[in-house]
Chain A
Amino acid sequence: MNITLRVWRQANASAEGRMVTYQVRDVSPDMSFLEMLDLLNEDLTVKGEEPVAFDHDCREGICGMCGVVINGTAHGRGDSPVPTTTCQLHMRSFEDGATIDVEPWRAGPFPVIKDLAVDRSAFDRIIQAGGFISANTGAAPDAHAAPVGKLKADRAFDAATCIGCGACVAACPNSSAMLFTAAKITHLAMLPQGQPERFLRVKSMLAQHDEEGFGGCTNIGECAEVCPKQIPFDTISQLNRDLISSLFKKDGK
């Protein structure tokens, strides 16, 4: 396969970026999208040009480090038959001779570092605000001390599969990180261990979400469409319910 790529090139956070066109030849349909970018970068390096910077690590769809907008959708969801991360998108999803646009996540709270790599440290700060259970090492009771009903355990698990890639933010017209935040709220709210801090958590995390500059949720649902882990959209309803409940409770209750 031969592919025409139009890639966002931006030298650093303060530089102006632009789309640059490259030809990539001898692409195998079995290559992953990132292996196709590797091929481009090998070619650029041999020519003495700067390779395209992009974040990636595990290349098996679980670490959440990769993520670019492909032909206008996060992780190339529009080209993929199934929900996917960028690293698990394969070139067989494209036609020979296709022109493919590749851009970074675009959101105010995710400033571009270089080319396709962005700074997602805002997500870590949302977790710091309360996305945890305060249980110091060594203080745990026996694991069977608190049974968890299967339905709640499964709902907690579905929410806990979030990989923090940021596709939800990139897809949202409001640049909202509500699906990310709601996934953690729902995961911990379903478990008995998460109850003591439940209502303080939702207030703190949401305050940090807004502080970072992420927009509000207007129930558009693009986030859940592109989510590689299919975090349920109704986790946001769970967040809203917990937030309303929290208004009637003193902190720590």
Chain B
Amino acid sequence: MTTTTEKPAPTKAAKPLPGADFFTVGADIKDTKAPSGPIEQKWSKRKFEAKLVNPANRRKLTVIIVGTGLAGGAAAASLGEAGYNVLNFCYQDSPRRAHSIAAQGGINAAKNYRNDNDSTHRLFYDTVKGGDYRARETNVYRLAEVSANIIDQCVAQGVPFAREYGGLLDNRSFGGVQVQRTFYARGQTGQQLLIGAYQALERQVAAGTVKMHTRHEMLELIVADGRARGIVTRDMVTGQIQSWFADAVVLATGGYGNVFFLSTNAMGCNVTADWRAHRKGAYFGNPCYTQIHPTCIPVHGETQSKLTLMSESLRNDGRIWVPKRAEDCDKDPRQIAEADRDYYLERIYPAFGNLVPRDIASRQAKNMCDEGRGVGPAVKEIGEDGQERQVRRGVYLDFADAISRLGKDGVAARYGNLFDMYAQITGEDPYETPMRIYPAVHYTMGGLWVDYDLSSNVPGLYVTGEANFSDHGANRLGASALMQGLADGYFVLPNTINDYLAGAPFDKLDDTHPAAVEALASVKDRIDKLLAVNGTRTVDSFHKELGHIMWEYCGMERTEAGLIKAIGLIRKLREEFWRDVKVTGVNEDFNQTLERAGRVVDFMELGELMCVDALHRRESCGGHFRAESQTEDGEALRHDDEFLYVAAWEYTGTAQAPVLHKEPLEYNFIELKQRSYK
């Protein structure tokens, strides 16, 4: 635990934190890797001070990378190019399938190609502000600094960014910022960036520096003699449980939005790698920070398996409304007179209207539906009183004004692909009837705690991309997830992991080492237990129930009472799961039910920690509205005096109180401000 400071917990915290029965407070922690000095010079200084590994020695060292998305694939390709032996794993059938591929909008970079006063400092400022002042300044500055290199690298790989007739790259503005710094590839930017990284990765596979293991799921971390030295995987085709050893382990396994069951994540996205590492000592940073995206296609019924996002650029021309009267909600929207419509965002926020930030747009949509003024099919829910109820979860996004102003062709030119997607999924024509939208879980800002080098508190365990907590604070700015994944993978990790690997090679390990014996046995035990329950309820039914609990109590709006209730419900659900789950088949087979069961076990444990984290953070911040912390007119109220820190949680055992370690946040280069959109 190299980064934990020795000093005891600060004594000034006389006021007990909310929910103090559910956790204990340990010593503060801090990042010790970012060098001192002006922020513009920190990254250069760190790169110069970091130890190097001689090219001839790199081939003697092995690095495990779990995940093949932007953060994992880019890191595997880059470390392979540098000459390390890389073992790369993914659960899909090909590294090209990682969920980075689904990102639509674009990637930010401080190129200032538009001559509109953009700069590294402005991107840094916008990202810190977008994160509502809960991100670490040093990391964010570096992200902005390397952003320009990412675009150069991707173009060199053949990524077909949008271009103008002069042959140069096009930009657009995105996410409510005032400069045009977003590079894009139609609505498929994530796909094109990932294919670029995938091709670089496959080139290294051909060169023999990267060994690729597809359809392998990491189920345990091996920590030997205080260092992360390997993982245990299950071969998803044969069921073989196997250990792999290395000098360092990198987790690039994405986010955990599927804890809500319904999210915009891929079906397979899971927290297992992160959670297994957490159970082995890695701190989990800000687990309750999730991003809810306002413009998704609403739920059609109880058999819904996932949600689909539509670019929020739709809000540039669409007007959001619900009927003024609940009895109008099942009418054809075209028959509802103008005077009977409530354009609620324009009413409440006249200055920003339909372009208010994501969290506000999302929360107000929920409020309208809670009032009974939602539209579309009614969906079964369990209310706070434990009773089933039918609620319409949707609001209209209406393009009638835009069509009369721009013409149907003009609207099609801007949003044609999104309209087609909507029509294909819902069977409705959005040129004729208003779209229906509702918020959905999209991204998780929380993740394993890392320092400036992207090292967790477990020596030799590095975490990149969405899997770590680092750069987005309490809310992520649009078009910056792709930027972070590639920054970590191409430019940060390859320059910081050397500093650790300079101390390698470490002792050779094999399956007889006690740490490996323990890890292998725990994986096999868990699988045996899952197969032995032989109850009556399906894995998905538990996952859906967990999702309902999380969405109701740990979603857009949270209360102390609700979160305490959720913790109790999750504990009860976990107990029932281990008593009554039905997992068919055997381990030694392609068994998708068994895969999902293992993931749901970890989601249930994570869900509880998320509720504890949300409970203790009694402030409204970023994407989260805490009912007990609002201004007189009902807007989010942050408490910098109490909560200006990263909450890094230490695992102590299932259903045992976790330990909270605070990393105080210092703002030396940006002034703290309260957001206002009225």
The chain A residues found within 8 Å of chain B, CB to CB, are 12, 28-32, 34-35, 38-39, 42, 44-46, 48-51, 53, 55-60, 62-65, 82, 84, 88, 90, 92, 113-114, 117, 119-121, 123-124, 127-129, 131-144, 146-150, 153, 156-157, 160-161, 163-164, 187-188, 191, 193-194
Chain A binding surface SS class: loop
Contacts of B237 in A (CB 8 A): 113
Q: Is the CB of B304 within 8 A of A35?
A: yes
Judge whether B152 and A164 touch: CB under 8 Å: no
Chain A residues in 8 Å Cβ range of B267: 56-59
Instruction: Determine the chain B residues whose CB is within 8 A of the CB of A138 once the complex forms.
Output: 149, 153, 490-491
Which residues of chain B are within 8 angstroms of A38 by Cβ–Cβ distance? 303, 305, 540
On whether the beta carbons of A193 and B168 are closer than 8 Å, the reply is no
Residues of B within 8 A of A143 (CB): 111, 151-152, 154-155, 161, 169
CA A124 to CA B538, docked complex, whole Å: 35
Measured CB to CB, the closest approach of chain B to A61, in angstroms, equals 8
Partner of B101, one of A35, A63, A123, A135: A63
- Known A38-B540, A132-B202, A135-B157; judge A62-B188 contact (CB<8 A): yes
Q: Are B101 and A58 in contact, with the CB atoms below 8 A?
A: yes
The listed residue (B96, B153, B590) touching A164 by CB distance below 8 A is: B96
- Indicate if B92 sits at the interface (CB-CB under 8 A): yes
Q: Closest residue to A34 on the B side, CB-wise?
A: B305
Contact bitstring B173-192, A, C-beta under 8 A = 1, else 0: 00000000000011010111
Kindly specify which of B240-248, B423-431, B662-670 makes contact with the partner chain. Answer: B423-431
A238 to chain B, nearest CB (A): 15
The residue of chain B having its C-beta at the shortest distance from the C-beta of A43 within the complex is B538
- Does B585 sit within 8 A of A, measured CB to CB? yes
Question: Inside 8 A of A34's CB, which chain B residues have their CB?
Answer: 305
Chain B residue nearest to A84 (CB atoms) is: B424
Report A169 CB to chain B, min CB distance, Å. Answer: 14
B8 CB within 8 Å of chain A: no
Q: Which of B193-201, B365-373, B606-614, B636-644 contacts its partner?
A: B193-201
Q: Are A157 and B81 in contact (CB under 8 A)?
A: no
Which residues from A are CB-within-8-Å of B155?
Answer: 140, 143, 146, 193
- Residue from B74, B99, B494 whose CB has the most chain A CB atoms within 10 Å: B99
Question: B414 near A: Cβ within 8 Å?
Answer: no
B303 lies within 8 A of A114 (CB): no
B266 an interface residue at 8 Å Cβ cutoff?
Answer: yes
A20 to B552, CA, bound (A): 40
- Residue B582 contacts which of A12, A45, A156 (CB distance < 8 angstroms)? A45
Which chain A residue lies CB-closest to B152?
Answer: A140
CB interface residues, B 525-540, toward A, < 8 Å: 536, 538-540
**A48-B582 in contact given A60-B308, A127-B198 (Cβ < 8 Å):** yes
User: Which chain A residue has the least Cβ–Cβ distance from B113?
Assistant: A144
Question: B427 near A187 (CB under 8 angstroms)?
Answer: no
Instruction: Write out the residue numbers on chain A whose beta carbons fall within 8 Å of the beta carbon of B425.
Output: 32, 88, 90
Chain B, residue nearest A124 (CB): B94
Q: B166 at the A/B interface (Cβ < 8 Å)?
A: yes
Least Cβ–Cβ distance between A96 and chain B, in angstroms? 15
Interface string of B197-238 (1 = CB under 8 A from A): 011101101100000101000000000000000000000010
Q: Is the CB of A133 within 8 A of B199?
A: yes
A-B contact pairs, 16 of them (CB 8 A): A12-B589, A28-B303, A38-B303, A63-B102, A82-B420, A113-B590, A124-B96, A124-B212, A127-B202, A129-B206, A132-B200, A132-B202, A137-B78, A137-B153, A137-B200, A153-B162
Residues in chain B near residue A148, CB distance under 8 A: 163, 167
B538 touches A46 (CB 8 A): yes
- Smallest CB gap from B309: residue in A: A60
A113 smallest CB distance to B (angstroms)? 6
Q: Are A57 and B185 in contact (CB under 8 A)?
A: no
Residue of A nearest to B495 (CB): A138
Q: Counting CB contacts under 8 A, is B158 at the interface?
A: yes
Find B300's partner among A31, A65, A187 (CB 8 Å cutoff): A31
Complexed CA–CA distance, A145 and B293 (Å)? 36
Chain B, Cβ-Cβ closest to A114: B590
Complex Cα distance, B92 from A250, in Å, reads 38
Contact indicator per residue, chain B 581-595, by CB within 8 Å of chain A (1) or not (0): 010110001101100
Contact A150/B164 with A30-B301, A45-B538, A65-B92 known, Cβ cut-off 8 Å? yes
By a CB distance below 8 angstroms, the chain B residues around A84 are: 424
Are B188 and A140 interface neighbours, CB within 8 A?
A: no
Does B51 reach chain A (CB closer than 8 Å)? no
- Chain B residues whose CB sits within 8 angstroms of the CB of A121 once the complex forms: 93-94, 214
Is the Cβ of A140 less than 8 Å from the Cβ of B156? yes
Chain B minimum-CB-distance residue to A133: B158
B48: Cβ under 8 A from any A Cβ: no
Does B110 touch A at the CB level, under 8 Å?
no
Given contacts A30-B300, A35-B305, contact A114 B199 (CB under 8 A): no
Contact of B99 among A63, A156, A164 (CB under 8 A): A63
Instruction: Indicate if B279 sits at the interface (CB-CB under 8 A).
Output: no
Residues in chain B near residue A35, CB distance under 8 A: 303-305
- Rounded to whole Å, the gap between the CB of A196 and the closest CB of chain B is 12
How far, in whole Å, are A132 and B167 apart by their CA atoms in the complex?
22
- For B157, list chain A residues within 8 Å (CB): 132-133, 135, 193
Contact with A along B366-393 (1 / 0, CB 8 A): 0000000000000000000000000000
A12-B589, A62-B188, A92-B427 are known; give 20 further A-B pairs, CB within 8 A.
A30-B426, A50-B585, A56-B267, A58-B99, A58-B266, A59-B267, A60-B102, A60-B308, A119-B93, A123-B94, A124-B95, A127-B199, A133-B156, A135-B153, A143-B111, A160-B160, A160-B195, A163-B191, A191-B158, A193-B155
Q: Does B482 sit at the interface, judged by CB under 8 A? A: no
